[in-house]
Structure 1
Amino acid sequence: MILGKLMDRLKDKEERMVEIRRHLHENPELSFQETETAKYIAEFYEEKDVEVETGVGGNGVKVTIDTGTPGKTLALRADFDALPILEETDLPFASKNEGVMHACGHDAHTAYMLILAETLIELKDELKGTIVIIHQHAEELPPGGAQRMIADGILDGVDNVLGAHVMSNMETGKVLYREKESMTGRGFFKLTIKGSGGHGSSPHLANDPIVAGAHFVSEVQTIVSRRLNPFEAGVVTIGSFDGKGVFNVIKDQVVLEGDVRAMGDDTKKTIEKEIKRISSGIEATFGVTNVLEYKDDYPTLYNDPELTRQVAKAIKDANLSNVTSVERCEPQPPSEDFAYYTKELPSSFIYIGAAPEGQIYPHHHPKFDINEDSLLIAAQSIGSAAIDYLMNDSKE
């Protein structure tokens, strides 16, 4: 049976998955700069019976596995960029690139996907349809790699897309899913408030931008509490307030930067409108001049309900020995540029529990790490879903 063969071979290759993950972890590259990682991925497929395209949308790599038998075309996506974070894990395979770290698990995504793709290539004569492996660059940094790969034709001929994310805050052994709106959309802004400087003893002769900025910080917090429907989910966070100076000097200007998240693109638009309105009001109230740069980037990730239920059922029915449960979870607060695929085609993005033993650190933390058992779970879970999709729902 094809599913059993795939599961057994993946299990036999678990050690290689871990080795690949550790190699990638040691050699992280920032978004849009992942040239060596892209080269490593492409070289992995050398001498394999498969079509490989490099430079897709930038540093992306497309691998097409044609089984030779008519059927649907399913894309499987894994990202491979890292973050500008100084690693503090003390792992023996910690980053060799100072100030850059795989602090989100994309090294694990690439490792499991490489081995899964290799095994699907080995078994392709027993499969139906076509599998497209999307090795995506630049998930972490807007505008993100997904948009560019889509513009470069990565989804041409594809019917559906599947993806997965290892999660350090979810119990290892659990596979989790969510239909419909599943991850927040995101925006960010930079506000420069220009006043007029002066001596701290004579504020009446100056126009203090710090005071205006403080009011802006307070006012934007009323957007969620007073401008959104109570059943809408949104967050506005001021992550940076650059007002550093000398204690007795009133500055000429301050710069604030903020993060916007919303579980719905219409909600995100409302927040954007209100931020712009408040900025204009601060100008009028305090007589300052504001320069607001607002960027609306990743949309809300919407999982196709039917496909997501099909994926969850396939993983449950596979009865994987290392999967303790397949559960429906709550929507997740972070954002993901996989959302761009979901806007183009019915798609599904699931979560693989990867909580390590001992202290658990969140994604994007300098001490972030995962339980490497999650690699095999991810490969077998996505592999099970792919086999079910291709063999039981194919075009004839």
Structure 2
Amino acid sequence: MNVFSSRFSLAGIAETIDLKSQRQHAEVVAWRRHLHRHPELSFKEVDTANFLERELAAVEGLKVSRPTPTSLLARLAGGRKGGTLAMRADIDALPVQDQKRCDYASGNPNVMHACGHDGHAAMLLGAARILAGLRAQVPGEVRFFFQHAEEQHPGGAQQMVDAGVMKGVDKVISAHVMSTLDTGSIAVLDGPALASSDRFVLRVRGRGGHAANPDRCIDPIMIGAQIVGNLQAVVSRNADPHEAVILSVTRFDGGTAFNVIPDTVELWGSVRCFSEHVRELVPALVERIANGVAGAHGASCELEYIRGYSPVVNDTAVASRMRAVVEQGIATAVLQSIKPLPNSEDFSAFLKHAPGAYVLIGARSAAKGIVHPHHHPHFDFDEDALLHGVQLFANAPFHLNA
């Protein structure tokens, strides 16, 4: 009989993890603040990776390697039989100037941890320390991914997958602090959690001329404006109304003078979907509609469609167990029900190789003035949420590996 199959044993493990996480909370905060003071952009996380490697190498029982130059893999072999669980934290920052006034504000001009990745890294590092201390009781193998370049396509997750980190992994989880959820709230969705993120460029080619003689021209601005409106038919008349699609034209570029109709215009756009099936349909629909409108006016249209990150879709069984982690392992947090988010990220690359779940950890505190959204120059998060992240990661192997 597996001793971790009973609620009593899980409760004992949760109590031990709670005590250990409380004791090391100040250290986790210090790690987070160090990383916040020294942020690095995607694919350039050299000092960040070096700092994390030094901290991980000091933990007995962890085998640390570099799958890529700026990412880390730490492996812990538990003392009991079980599966293999991977737990991932992203570590890169954003090209944002930190405008906070605090002693841990970014010291690197125009680079800032404006999305909480510094906290993710500190949480996972804290969990690694706790689990290494409990390794005789840990079921199976635990892999800790410190992933580079989540913020910049093509993303670091796929590079880590290509380096082999997912070989033999049975389940994979990740977590993200959320400025839209109050501290103490944690959300674990079934099925779609985050959207895909693709983008496109449409180049409409007409025939330019004098603005006084539009009849002698094929006006790409007028045609482009019609395309913008007609593209909304992708959402309203071509996609299943039960499947969410967000299509936004975000840039309309063309023309050089008040009295000149240009030859060409360029439209940029973003497409987000929660279903891979619907996502596959969109490029052909965009191309058909744009070419139809352009052709009706004697113009031509060229589509460049750039695929980004796939949707993050939680496995229902893993999500259920992660909700049990929250209910049984985190005394000061409660589960919150939310809708899928239209944001995207590259954790989806790991999910293509093992079932998993993406967890959202509340980190907003109006009482502390911590209310700014992600990617904002005043972004910060409630450091009490670090405790919840550590407890979430540290309890997870006992629920998912046993």
Match of 2:51 in 1: 40
Contact 1:315/1:385 (CA < 8 Å) preserved in 2?
A: no
Deviation at 1:279, TM superposition (A): 2.4
Match of 1:228 in 2: 239
TM-score by length of 1: 0.91
Select 1:52's aligned residue among 64, 77, 92: 64
Deviation at 1:196, TM superposition (A): 3.7
Cα distance per residue 1:46-68 (max 9 Å; x no partner): 233221111x2452211101124
Cα distance per residue 1:256-308 (max 9 Å; x no partner): 21111111011112222211112222331233343321022222212111121
Contact 1:57/1:150 (CA < 8 Å) preserved in 2?
A: no
Q: CA–CA distance in 1 between the matches of 2:215 and 2:303?
A: 26
Contact 2:85/2:142 (CA < 8 Å) preserved in 1?
A: yes
Equivalent residue letter for 2:399: D
1:154-173 correspondence runs (5 A)? 154-173=165-184
Contact 1:210/1:243 (CA < 8 Å) preserved in 2?
A: yes
TM-score by length of 2: 0.90
Contact 2:275/2:311 (CA < 8 Å) preserved in 1?
A: yes
Q: Is 1:218–2:234 an aligned residue pair? A: no
Q: CA–CA distance in 2 between the matches of 1:77 and 1:273?
A: 35
Cα distance per residue 1:142-171 (max 9 Å; x no partner): 221111211111111211111111110011
Cα distance per residue 1:154-190 (max 9 Å; x no partner): 1112111111111100111011111112221221112
Select 2:340's aligned residue among 309, 321, 331: 331
Select 2:110's aligned residue among 99, 112, 133: 99
Q: Is 1:108–2:124 an aligned residue pair? A: no
Match of 2:399 in 1: 388
Q: CA–CA distance in 1 between the matches of 2:131 and 2:116?
A: 23
| Gap regions ≥5 residues in structure 2 | 1-11
1:5-154 correspondence runs (5 A)? 5-49=16-60, 50-54=62-66, 56-154=67-165
Which of 74-83 and 61-70 deviates more? 61-70
Q: Does the residue aligned with 2:187 lie in a helix, a strand or coil?
A: strand
Match of 2:312 in 1: 301
Deviation at 1:209, TM superposition (A): 2.4
Match of 1:362 in 2: 373
Equivalent residue letter for 2:93: A
Q: CA–CA distance in 2 between the matches of 1:51 and 1:39?
A: 15
Q: CA–CA distance in 2 between the matches of 1:16 and 1:277?
A: 56
Which of 147-156 and 243-252 deviates more? 243-252
Q: CA–CA distance in 1 between the matches of 2:101 and 2:287?
A: 44
| Gap regions ≥5 residues in structure 1 | none
Equivalent residue letter for 1:337: D
Match of 2:291 in 1: 280
Q: CA–CA distance in 2 between the matches of 1:253 and 1:87?
A: 39
Deviation at 1:130, TM superposition (A): 1.1
Match of 2:8 in 1: none
Q: Is 1:262–2:287 an aligned residue pair? A: no
Equivalent residue letter for 1:180: G
Q: CA–CA distance in 2 between the matches of 1:38 and 1:244?
A: 46
Q: Is 1:322–2:325 an aligned residue pair? A: no
- Backbone CA RMSD of aligned residues: 2.0
Q: Does the residue aligned with 1:275 lie in a helix, a strand or coil?
A: helix
Mark the CA change 1:95 to 1:322 in structure 2 (over 3 Å): closer, same or farther: same
Q: Does the residue aligned with 2:169 lie in a helix, a strand or coil?
A: coil
Mark the CA change 1:280 to 1:389 in structure 2 (over 3 Å): closer, same or farther: same
Contact 2:43/2:148 (CA < 8 Å) preserved in 1?
A: yes
Q: CA–CA distance in 1 between the matches of 2:380 and 2:253?
A: 31
Deviation at 1:206, TM superposition (A): 3.7
Q: Is 1:250–2:257 an aligned residue pair? A: no
Equivalent residue letter for 2:31: I
Task: Kindly tell me the number of residue pairs found equivalent between the two proteins.
Answer: 388
4+ residue runs over 6 A deviation: none
Select 1:193's aligned residue among 204, 207, 217: 204
Cα distance per residue 1:55-91 (max 9 Å; x no partner): x245221110112443211111111112223333344
Q: Does the residue aligned with 2:111 lie in a helix, a strand or coil?
A: coil
